[in-house]
Each structure stands twice: as C-alpha cells, then as structure tokens.
Structure 1
Amino acid sequence: MTDTTLTHPSLDRPPVFTQEELDWLPWLEPLPADQLTDRHWAGLVDAARSKSDYFMLLARDPDILGARTKTDKDIFYNTKMGLPRAERELSAAAASRFNGCIYCASVHARFASQFSKRREDVQRLLDEGVSVTIDSRWDAVVSASVALSRTPAAFGQTEVEALREAGLDDLEISDVIHGAAFFNWANRLMLSLGEPARRAA
C-alpha cells in the first residue's frame, strides 16, 4: 500500500486568528486533476474548485463532496429570505473560532467583514474570542453558534429565546443554526485533514 501522507516541515503557520487570506495544506494526497471524471466534476459543483487542494482531496468521494458543496452553497448564498449574509458568515466564524479552525475562521470572518462593513467588530471576535461583547444581536448569534458547537444536544429553548429577544425571526434563527451546525462539522473535517499556512509573499 502506498503511503500518501504529506508533511510540511517548513510550513509558515499563522500564530493567531486572522482575516488574512491563508493557504491550506493537506496531509493526504489530493486527487490528481488528470484523474477527474464527469462524476468528479459533478461532485465539485464549481469547476474552479479543482484548483483547491481541499476540494480535490474531498473529490476522492465525489458524491459526498457534491452533497456537502450544495448544502454549503444553500446555507450561505440562498439569502432571499432569512438571515442577512453577513450574519450567516458571523455564525460560521464564531463556530470556527470556538473550534480552533484558523483557516475556516479566516474565510468566514473575512466574508462577515465584507458584507457587514464592520471589520473591527469581526476582528474583535477573532482577537478576544467567543466571549466578546459587540452588540445584542451579534452577541446572540455568536452565543447561539458557540452553544451549538460546544454540545449540539444541549442547544435549545434558551438559545432560541435569546435570538428572538435580539430581534431574529424564525427563518433567521434557522439560518444561525444551519451556519453553525454546518461549520461545527466542517471545522472538524478540515482540522483532521490538513493545516493552515500563510501565503507566500
């Protein structure tokens, strides 16, 4: 059996949570591009994802990758109703900050900043952690996302009522739950398959 484990001894690891664009380096060999079949392309959903080591690693199981990507896109891009995109990203960033996933936190904090125009507030979440106090609405989103990430089965009426008190309706509450739940799973997948790295200058 061939050992496909990869190591990155000279990796420039980011020491703290950041909104900078990072690279992600896998510990297992991604699927080579010349081995992609029509089934793999369908699993990638977006052809541009073939440039990503992460998605090319997940492409080894294209059916699961396709389901994962369609779920991800529906949670974050289907914003005709429910939570604004900025707060969906905030939920994912909070879960990622709590779980210690520097790469995912960087991506979703950057999107939260982009869509909210509140970069300094988002950076405080990264710098101070999930106990940060920002404002009642964002605090409720962060708190609910962390509660769901910490112990999913313990998430319940208390967190839902806090979100309602902060002004969220049922669809918005559902979106908070979806964003946090998806990234509570996605963080663990990414953390088990590779590591973040600073981009070369």
Structure 2
Amino acid sequence: MAWIRTIPFDAATGKLRDLYKRVTGPDNNVDNIMMMHSLRPHTMEAHMAVYKYVLHHRDNTIPKWFLEAIGVWVSHLNTCTYCVEHHFAGMKRLLKDDTRSDALRTAIASGDVPAMPLDARQQAAMRYAQRLTETPGDMAQSDVEALRMAGWDDGEILEINQVTAYFCYANRTVLGLGCSTDGDIIGLSPGNNDDPDDWNHR
C-alpha cells in the first residue's frame, strides 16, 4: 500500500485515532492517502483542512462536480492514477450523467481539452489548470485574463486556482510515498458541505 510504514485504524491511538474517526467511511475505512500521514498526524489534520475547505465548502460557487473534474484532469496530467480513480468516481456520482462522465474521462485520458463535453467557459478553466500544473513558472496575468474573458469572476478564478494547487499537492503525496488504492473504497468524500469540520467520508 505504501513505501513507508503506516498505522492502520485498529492500531491507532491518541490524536491519530481521533483524526481517523473524523475521516472514516463505512466499516471504519480510512482512505490510503490519509494513512500516508499516520506517522505525523498533524500533517493529516492540515491535509484534511485544506481538502475540505478547497473542494467541499459551502461558500464555493462552482459546482462540486466540476471542481472534481478539474481534480481528475490535474491528476491525469500528474499521472496520479490513485486520485484519478477516486475523484472520477466522485465526479460521476455528482454529475449524475454516466454518458457525459465517461466521455469526459475519455477526453481527459487523451489530453484533448476541445473534446471534453464542457462549455467554453469550463474548457478555459481546464486550460488554465493544465498550464498551472505543467508549467507553473510560465504563468502570466494573461492566463487569469483568459478566464475572465471566458466568463469566470475573480472569486471563481480563485476556486479554480486552489483546486488545481490542492491536487498537485495531493498527487505528490501519493506518488512520492507509493500510495495505492489497495483496500480503498473508491470515490468516497466528505458529503456535508455546510460543516467545514465534518470530515466523515460517505
């Protein structure tokens, strides 16, 4: 499951046990990406706070399914199969359109933004996410202007930026520590957007 030692739920004590209880899914399942932090629980706490506030917060205005789609795209660009599988399942559940979801995954897999079944505004967000993921040092004010011209306001641009940045972080956590999907329940995520402190995965 990992290239470093991790502590399973049944062996956890103290602060780690308390954090595990907050992030569990069915049958006390803890996603492997969270177990990567088990030797330093404070980093799990930080990771979950960023994840919840960036992707699953009531004050976001972009639909959650599209934020998940950005995450799948960024994870594909970073060749992070773990996050692609988890977040595609979450996106598909939220979008409630299997045909469109599968077409989007096919276009993502081929790296073809124009083929993505998204409107022009959403495709512009995907192009921004690609540039920020692949060539962050080349970003310029014109990249933000392109999002404005596509119809995103500045608060939404911040959401797109933060989701892209979060997934680059999560992808590197997974890829750098050898995290696999073995034993995971694919596609669970915090469902209670109204409570930022509710991290339960359902």
Instruction: Give the TM-score range, shorter chain.
Output: 0.7 to 0.9
Match of 2:66 in 1: 87
- Counterpart of 1:51 (choices 25, 29, 46) is 29
With the length of structure 2 as denominator, give the TM-score of the two structures: 0.75
Match of 1:156 in 2: 140
Select between 155-164 and 28-37 the one with higher mean Cα deviation: 28-37
Match of 1:119 in 2: 101
**1:44–1:69 CA contact under 8 A, matched in 2:** no
**1:98–1:130 CA contact under 8 A, matched in 2:** no
- Report percent identity of matched pairs: 25
**1:92–1:179 CA contact under 8 A, matched in 2:** yes
Select between 173-182 and 54-63 the one with higher mean Cα deviation: 54-63
**1:90–1:141 CA contact under 8 A, matched in 2:** no
**1:41–1:47 CA contact under 8 A, matched in 2:** no
**2:75–2:168 CA contact under 8 A, matched in 1:** yes
- Counterpart of 2:12 (choices 31, 36, 50) is 36
Match of 2:158 in 1: 174
**2:60–2:159 CA contact under 8 A, matched in 1:** no
Task: Give the distance between the partners of 1:155 and 1:138, measured in 2 at CA.
Answer: 19
Structure 1 SS opposite 2:24: helix
Select between 155-164 and 59-68 the one with higher mean Cα deviation: 155-164
Q: Determine which structure has the larger strand proportion and give its number.
A: 1
Match of 2:88 in 1: 109
Structure 2 SS opposite 1:28: coil
Match of 1:129 in 2: 111
**2:69–2:88 CA contact under 8 A, matched in 1:** yes
**Cα-Cα RMSD:** 2.5
Structure 1 SS opposite 2:39: coil
Task: Give the distance between the partners of 1:43 and 1:156, measured in 2 at CA.
Answer: 39
| Structure 1 gaps, min length 5 | 1-24
Count of matched residue pairs: 176
With the length of structure 1 as denominator, give the TM-score of the two structures: 0.75
In structure 2, relative to structure 1, the CA distance for the partners of 1:58 and 1:81 (3 Å cut) is closer
**2:68–2:87 CA contact under 8 A, matched in 1:** yes
Structure 1 SS opposite 2:36: helix
Structure 2 SS opposite 1:26: coil
**1:75–1:179 CA contact under 8 A, matched in 2:** yes
